[in-house]
Each structure stands twice: as C-alpha cells, then as structure tokens.
Amino acid sequence: MLNLKEIFSVSLILFSIIDIVGSVPVIIDLRKKAGHIQSEKATIVAGIIMIAFLFLGESILKLFGLDVQSFALAGAIIIFLIGMEMILGVQLFKADVDDAASSSIVPLAFPLIAGAGTMTTLVSLRSEYELYNILIGIVINLAFVYVVLKTSGWLERKLGVAGFNIIRKVFGIILLAIAVKIIKSNLVSWGVIQVS
C-alpha cells in the first residue's frame, strides 16, 4: 500500500503549494512584528487543518452537492494560477498577514501554510493517490515547515533574494505541470478527451 513514488510526488506537490521557502520573507516580517514565531504551535495547527480537510473534505463537498472530480478540476486551476504567480512574479492571491496584533499562529498556520490552495490540493490528491501516502507526504511537509520556521533568519542570510527567486520559479514550473496532469486525468475520466 505504501508507495515511495507516490509519497515523493505528494510531498513535492504539497511543498510547491505551501511554498514555505518562498514565504520566508513574510515569516521574517511577522517575526519582527510579533517578536517571535511560535513554530511548534503553527506547525501543529496547520497539520490539524490539513488532516481534517483530507478526511472531511469529501463530506463537505457532498453537503454542497459537488463531486471530487469537479473539486479536483477547480483545484487544478488554482494550482495552475499559483504556478503562474510564482513564475511571473505577480500576486494573484493575497494572504492577510498585515495585522501586527495577530498571533503568529493565525496568519502562519492559516492561511499561509494550510490555506485554500493547500486544502483544495489535498482533495485533488485524494482522487489521485492512496490515503496513507498522502498522510506521509503531509507529515514530511510539516517537518520541513517546522525546520524552516525555526531557521528562517539563517535561511534569509544564506539564500538571499536571488536564491528565493530561483526556487519560486522552479517550483512554479513544477506546479504548472502538476495542474495540467490533474486537468488531463479528470477530463479523461469524464470522457471529454481520449487517450491514445
């Protein structure tokens, strides 16, 4: 049931969507405003949100009369737009992280780490990959998020602005390819396009 290829794919997709490395400038700004970052709490809260949506996402969709394929297709469009945003350096989605009075948990755990893009992606992944592999991918990403939150100052000094830009563009291209794959597989399952 455990598949290393699936775990790697899920981890890479979530890493690209969460884009915690690309969010380091926002994290540093939050640290300056709030005094410090509550890395453990932010990571745990983000994990709870992600796992809850992974299990309850389908039930929430059924409540609104939606199927997983439709949501996966909508999620793929969002993934595509996030990829375009990363490549072109434009801001289509704005996280509300300007309130200095907010604790580091609220803007970090949600919407920065476990935002709409992450939750949409989790439901999309549910239609493509095994549940256990997705859960392992979530845990791997949460561990990485925790390390980045803890070492954000060091990362800022080591990577620099050019390093961040390169990482964002590379993962932007990966996201575009993932979005196209999800769109294609859902169109094939609906019989809209034929695979030769």
pLDDT for the residue numbered 101? 39
pLDDT for the residue numbered 32? 67
pLDDT for the residue numbered 5? 94
Tell me the pLDDT of the chain (196 aa) as tens digits.
Answer: 789 999 999 999 999 888 887 777 667 767 766 677 788 989 999 999 999 989 998 788 789 888 777 777 877 787 788 778 878 877 775 554 444 335 456 667 876 788 767 887 888 888 889 999 999 999 999 999 999 998 877 876 787 778 777 877 887 787 788 778 878 887 887 777 776 6
The residue type of 63 is L
pLDDT for the residue numbered 130? 93
- Provide φ and ψ at 4, rounded to 5°: -60, -35
Which DSSP state fits 23?
T
Distance CA 190, CA 52 (A): 28
Distance CA 113, CA 47 (A): 9
Whether 62 contacts 165, CB under 8 Å: no
pLDDT for the residue numbered 99? 46
Distance CA 165, CA 163 (A): 5
Q: Where are the alpha helices (DSSP H) in the chain?
A: 4-18, 24-34, 39-63, 68-88, 105-107, 116-126, 131-150, 152-189
Distance CA 159, CA 155 (A): 6
pLDDT for the residue numbered 104? 58
